[in-house]
């Protein structure tokens, strides 16, 4: 498996990052992940734009054009044999290493960031989760991404701990809440509820990452004539929901059929979720490849 690291394509086991890199030492960096459908990175311009803006928010002098990134992805697709099938692309941009190993507080524009791009096959398990649905746990505010939650930073500790809690309960996602029980997002996705044929998603008020898939799902729902809106949603709304699903670029749309051991609605993927899954796939994969 080849990876791209700072201008070079290397076998993954030969790629090395400095022990002084602020990404490793302090989580000082940002990343994005997306799906590559038979060689086509979906929404690459939107992911690149988000990554660029988020790097700027951390004062990381990222010099990576969309064209350059597109070329890197094409090379990885070809060299990693992913021209068919689906790949998971991750672009990670970290602070880089100041030569003296100090904690860089000023002169940030003089430190060259580390840029790592990896492309691996999407795990087979995700297709089964999409078909059959997943279980989720609801976690309290300790697990929410409290600091700069609208950024995809390398500070992934709360995410990792939340997913481990979910895995211990036999679940694939954790739903994150505020101290008052207001629903925010999944540990690695955005959350949607269906009630009486209407689609609801937590309102983005700066407390979480409103992802690109969320935006696309809202557009698709409106195009299909399904009323869709943002709302303040609480734990009890999960109990009253007919359907629940999570959405992200790599996992796409995952029906949530069980929350904290209780079935959601009928306990199987519901019709609105199924319709949106099909519409999302159709929007992502050109017809000749579908």
Ligand X SMILES: Cc1ncc(COP(=O)(O)O)c(C=O)c1O
- Cβ proximity of 13 and 80 under 8 Å: no
Q: Is 130 or 249 the residue whose CB approaches ligand X more closely? A: 249
CB of 122 to ligand X, least distance (A): 13
Q: Is 28 or 96 the residue whose CB approaches ligand X more closely? A: 28
Residue 164: exposed, middle, or buried by beta-carbon count in 10 A (0-12, 13-18, 19+)?
A: exposed
CB of 247 to ligand X, least distance (A): 6
- Cβ proximity of 175 and 189 under 8 Å: no
CB of 101 to ligand X, least distance (A): 30
CB of 46 to ligand X, least distance (A): 8
Q: Is 154 or 212 the residue whose CB approaches ligand X more closely? A: 212
What is the C-alpha separation between 201 and 158, in angstroms, rounded?
Answer: 22
DSSP 28-76: -EEEEEEEEETTEETTHHHHHHHHHHHHHHTT------HHHHHHHHHHH
CB of 13 to ligand X, least distance (A): 26
Site residues (CB under 6 A) for ligand X? 33, 185, 188-190, 209, 211-214, 248-249
CB of 208 to ligand X, least distance (A): 6
Q: What region does 249 belong to: left with phi over 0, alpha with psi -120 to 50, or beta?
A: alpha
Q: Give me the residue label for tokens 């949530």.
A: 256
Q: Is 61 or 141 the residue whose CB approaches ligand X more closely? A: 141
CB of 214 to ligand X, least distance (A): 6
Task: Tell whether the torsion through CA atoms of 259, 265, 268 and 270 is positive or negative.
Answer: negative
Q: Give me the residue label for tokens 């992913």.
A: 82
CB of 159 to ligand X, least distance (A): 7
Of all residues in the shown chain, the one whose CB is closest to ligand X is 211
List C-alpha distances in Å: 234 to 137, 153, 199, 265. 14, 26, 15, 17
Q: Is 82 or 175 the residue whose CB approaches ligand X more closely? A: 175
Q: Is 182 or 214 the residue whose CB approaches ligand X more closely? A: 214
Q: Is 3 or 188 the residue whose CB approaches ligand X more closely? A: 188
Q: Is 115 or 212 the residue whose CB approaches ligand X more closely? A: 212
Can you name the residues that pair with 135 across neighbouring β-strands?
258
String of b and e for 72-104 (b: at least 16 CB within 10 Å)?
A: bbeebbeebebeeebbbbebbbbbbbbeeeeeb
Instruction: Supply the Cα-derived Rg of the chain in whole angstroms.
Output: 19
């Amino acid at each position: 498996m080849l990876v791209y690291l700072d201008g070079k394509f290397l076998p993954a086991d030969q790629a090395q990052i400095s022990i002084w890199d602020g990404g490793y030492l302090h989580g000082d960096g940002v990343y994005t992940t997306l799906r590559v459908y038979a060689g086509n990175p979906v929404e690459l311009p939107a992911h690149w734009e988000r990554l660029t803006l988020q790097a700027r928010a951390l004062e990381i002098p990222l010099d990576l054009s969309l064209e350059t990134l597109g070329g890197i992805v094409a090379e990885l697709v070809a060299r990693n044999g992913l021209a068919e099938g689906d790949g998971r692309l991750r672009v990670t941009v970290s602070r880089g290493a100041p030569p003296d190993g100090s904690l860089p507080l000023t002169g940030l524009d003089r430190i060259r960031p580390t840029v790592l791009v990896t492309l691996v096959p999407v795990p087979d398990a995700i297709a089964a989760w999409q078909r059959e649905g997943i279980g989720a746990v609801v976690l309290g505010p300790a697990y929410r991404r409290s600091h700069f939650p609208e950024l995809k930073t390398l500070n992934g500790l709360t995410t990792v701990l939340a997913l481990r809690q979910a895995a211990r309960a036999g679940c694939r996602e954790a739903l994150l809440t505020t101290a008052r029980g207001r629903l925010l997002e999944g540990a690695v996705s955005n959350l949607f509820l269906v009630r009486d044929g209407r689609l609801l998603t937590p309102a983005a008020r700066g407390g979480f990452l409103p992802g690109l898939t969320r935006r696309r799902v809202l557009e698709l729902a409106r195009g299909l004539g399904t009323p869709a809106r943002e709302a303040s949603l609480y734990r009890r709304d999960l109990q009253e929901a007919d359907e629940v699903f999570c959405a992200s670029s790599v996992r796409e749309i995952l029906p949530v059929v069980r929350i904290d051991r209780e079935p959601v609605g009928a306990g199987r993927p519901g019709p609105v979720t199924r319709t949106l899954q099909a519409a999302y796939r159709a929007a992502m994969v050109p017809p000749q490849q579908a």
